[in-house]
Structure 1
C-alpha cells in the first residue's frame, strides 16, 4: 500500500482517545495546559496518525483546542456552558416526565421504567456503593425517563447533552452521601411518575438535577484547585 494512504488503526486511536479523556477528566492534565502531538506520541509510544485522530475527536467533543503553530490546549472549563447544558437538560427531562403523567400515559411504553424501579426502589441494605456502577445507572435512569416519553427528537438532544456533561457529572458520585441521596431521590421521582403526580414529579426532578449540578460545580472547582497546588509543589 502506498505511503500516501496509511492504514487506519482504530484500536490505537481509540486507546489514545480513552486515555487522554481520562487524563483530562481526572485533572492529570489541567484546563489551560498546552502540549504537542509529539509529546502524546512519546507518552503513548504510538505514531502520529492515531494521536491526531484521537485529538480531533476530543476537539469535536469540546475537550481540547488546537492552536496554529503552537500545538494543543486543554480547554478551560466553561461553567457558563455547563450551566446552559444543565438548564436544557432540566427542560427536556421535566417535559418528558410530565408526558408520562398524562391521562393517556397508558399508550406510552412504560416498561422501560420497570427495570429502573428494580434498581432504585430498594431497601437501604440492597443499595450499590460502587461509584462507577452508580454513575452508569444514574445516566441510564435519566435517559430512560426521556426514552419512555416516546419523543425521538428529545432523546437525540438529551443524548448529546449527556455525552457532553458525562466527564464532570460522574464527580457527583465520589461522595457516598450523594450516592445514598441519589437512591432516595430517584425512588421518589419514580413513585411520582407511577402515580401520575405531574406537579410533584416536575418539582422533584428539577430539585434533583439542580442539586447534582451544584455539587458537581463545587467538586470540579475543588479538584482543579487541588491539582494546581500539587503541580506547583
Structure 2
C-alpha cells in the first residue's frame, strides 16, 4: 500500500522577504526613537503601545525589542511592558573608558597608514567636521549630533579592525543617546569642532602618538562636561 507523502505548505516568496524587512524596520524605528529621546530614558509602555506609536504591528516590534534588550537599550519587565533604559553617570563613565581605549587605538592606526590612505581618511573626517561646524552656527543641534556620530564611526571603521568596529557599535549607540539628551544644555560644541580638526591634523601628518593624545583629550573633556549634566537628570540606572 502506497503511503501518501505530506508536503509542507509553501510560504510565498513575498512573505519570506517581508518578514525580516518588517523586523529591521521596527528595530531601526525604535532605535531612532531611543537615540533622539522620542522614547526618553525611563519611558515604559507595552509592545502594543509602542507599535501604535510607530504605526507598526506588534509582531515585528516584539522581535525588535528582543534585539534592543541584547544591546542594553531596553529592558523587558514581566507583565509591565518595555522600559527604555536610563542613562546613569556611573554607566556612562564606564562607556567612555571603552570609547577612549578603542578610539585612541583607532586614531593611532589611522595615523600609521600610508600617506595616500591618511589623506583619504582625513578628507572624510574633515567633511563630517565641516558639517558639524555648519550645524553649530545654524543652531541645528540634531544635525550637529548626527555629524558628530558619523565622525566617530568613521574614525573606528576606517582603522580596519573589524572587532573594534563591532565592539564600539553598541557603545556608540548608548553614548549618542547621552549626547542627544543633553545637547541643549552643553556649552562647548565649538570646542568639539576645534578638537576634531586637531585630531585630523595629527592623522594627516602621520603622527600616531599625537593622534592618540588629541583623541584622548577630546573624549575626556566631553565626558567631564556630559557626566554632570546626566547627574542633573537624576537617573540612576542604565
Aligned counterpart, 1:120: 129
Is 1:152 aligned to 2:154, yes or no?
A: no
Aligned counterpart, 1:166: 176
The within-5 A match list for 1:55-66 is 55-66=65-76
Instruction: Call closer, same or farther: CA 1:215–1:171 in 2, change over 3 Å.
Output: farther
Contact 2:129 2:147 in 1 (8 A): no
Q: Comparing 8-17 with 127-136, which one deviates more in the overlay?
A: 8-17
Q: Comparing 179-188 with 37-46, which one deviates more in the overlay?
A: 37-46
Of the candidates 95, 100, 120, which is equivalent to residue 85 of structure 1?
95
Instruction: Call closer, same or farther: CA 1:198–1:20 in 2, change over 3 Å.
Output: closer
Unpaired segments of 5 or more residues in structure 1? 226-233
Number of equivalent positions: 219
The secondary structure found in structure 2 opposite 1:109 is helix
Contact 2:128 2:148 in 1 (8 A): no
Aligned counterpart, 2:105: 95
Instruction: Call closer, same or farther: CA 1:49–1:126 in 2, change over 3 Å.
Output: closer
Of the candidates 122, 136, 144, which is equivalent to residue 134 of structure 1?
144
Contact 1:128 1:134 in 2 (8 A): no
1:142 CA displacement: 1.9
Is 1:18 aligned to 2:29, yes or no?
A: yes
Instruction: Call closer, same or farther: CA 1:148–1:51 in 2, change over 3 Å.
Output: closer
Instruction: Call closer, same or farther: CA 1:101–1:179 in 2, change over 3 Å.
Output: same
Instruction: Call closer, same or farther: CA 1:194–1:39 in 2, change over 3 Å.
Output: closer
Q: Structure 1 CA distance, aligned partners of 2:161 and 2:75? A: 34
Instruction: Call closer, same or farther: CA 1:11–1:116 in 2, change over 3 Å.
Output: same
CA RMSD of aligned residues (A): 3.8
Q: Structure with the greater relative contact order (CA < 8 A, sep ≥ 6): 1 or 2?
A: 2
Instruction: Call closer, same or farther: CA 1:53–1:187 in 2, change over 3 Å.
Output: same
Aligned counterpart, 1:231: none
Instruction: Call closer, same or farther: CA 1:79–1:25 in 2, change over 3 Å.
Output: farther
Unpaired segments of 5 or more residues in structure 2? 1-8, 10-14
Contact 2:129 2:193 in 1 (8 A): yes
TM-score of the superposition, structure 2-length normalised? 0.70
